[in-house]
Amino acid sequence: MNKQFKPKDVPRLQSFLASRLEKLSQVSTFNWMGYDWQVCMEGGRLIHPQHPHEWYSPDCVQIAENNVLCLSIKEQPNVIKYWDGTIYYPKIGVGIVRSEQSFGLGTFTAKIQLAKGCNLWPSFWLTGSESWPPEIDICESWSDKKGSYFTFTIPQFPWLVPSWDTTYNVHYNDIQGVHQSTGSRRVSWCKQRNSPDSKFIEYQVERHADLVIFRVNGKIIKTYGHDVCQFVGDAPMYVIFNLWTESLDYKYDSPMLIKEFKYEPLAGV
């Protein structure tokens, strides 16, 4: 699982998953990397009303050899009754895990190989355990209709910047209680040249009360100071890994793989 994942490996991996993986469909909580995780969102929620085509399926969360966490997608129609009584009829199951524990200030690091496919939406992020926002997107990614995460950003015409659509962002409420965000920023190809769906990339955020630092493979790509962090502070946050789709117009080839997650609290906190 540590070597480069190739398309020709898909049948072999699918066979391995079917025969040897530890399926988590019968448990609501499991331990991985020393932490307990749930295959749902807060309160046991299994669907997002804005994405009624998919639901959070335990069958799409599996642990492979070398303790690699695999998130997948499958055709899996279901009937989900939401807390407000609304009934949804999602057609596909998707993988998501949320930490049972909430975390404060510190450094969050994960080594991830993104899923292969078209119009996929894999992410590694933090969300407030007591309210939303805050939210810190460490690696919120999108593959295009051709199955690529590579893109060009156009901050100011005619400049074109080759980048990966593996974005970082901070959501918060301002002093008037109005939702704001720093905006999704792509990772420059100059700072990270490996395709994120063919190699494991290390994504990291370092949280301080007045400073947030984003890194990719150890390189600082962005920092935010007091003007943003004053609205996030030391709010406790859950850790989430997910593999979603933007719509039913998608193609899924191979899973999202997470081979390491680490949290290091700030000294003295």
Cis before 134 (ω within 30)? yes
Partners of 108 in the beta sheet? 205, 263
Q: Domain containing 178 — which CATH number? A: 2.60.120.200
Range of the structural domain that residue 226 is part of: 7-265
Q: How far apart are CA 131 and CA 20, in angstroms?
A: 39
Structural domain contains residue 56:
yes
Structural domain contains residue 225:
yes
In this prediction, residue 19 carries a pLDDT of 42
Half-sphere exposure of 4 (CA within 13 A, CB side): 8
Structural domain contains residue 2:
no
17-68 tens-digit pLDDT:
444 334 444 446 899 999 999 999 988 899 999 999 999 999 999 999 999 9
Structural domain contains residue 71:
yes
Residue whose structure tokens are 């190699």: 199
- Residue 161: which pLDDT band, with cuts at 50, 70 and 90? confident
Structural domain contains residue 96:
yes
Q: How far apart are CA 62 and CA 117, in angstroms?
A: 19
Structural domain contains residue 1:
no
5-19 tens-digit pLDDT:
445 555 555 554 444
Are the CB atoms for 196 and 190 separated by under 8 Å? no
pLDDT at 69 over 60: yes
Mean pLDDT across 149-155: 82
Q: Domain count of the chain? A: 1
In this prediction, residue 18 carries a pLDDT of 44
Q: CB neighbours (10 Å) of residue 213?
A: 15
Structural domain contains residue 142:
yes
What secondary structure letter does DSSP report for 9?
G
Structural domain contains residue 146:
yes
Q: How far apart are CA 140 and CA 259, in angstroms?
A: 17
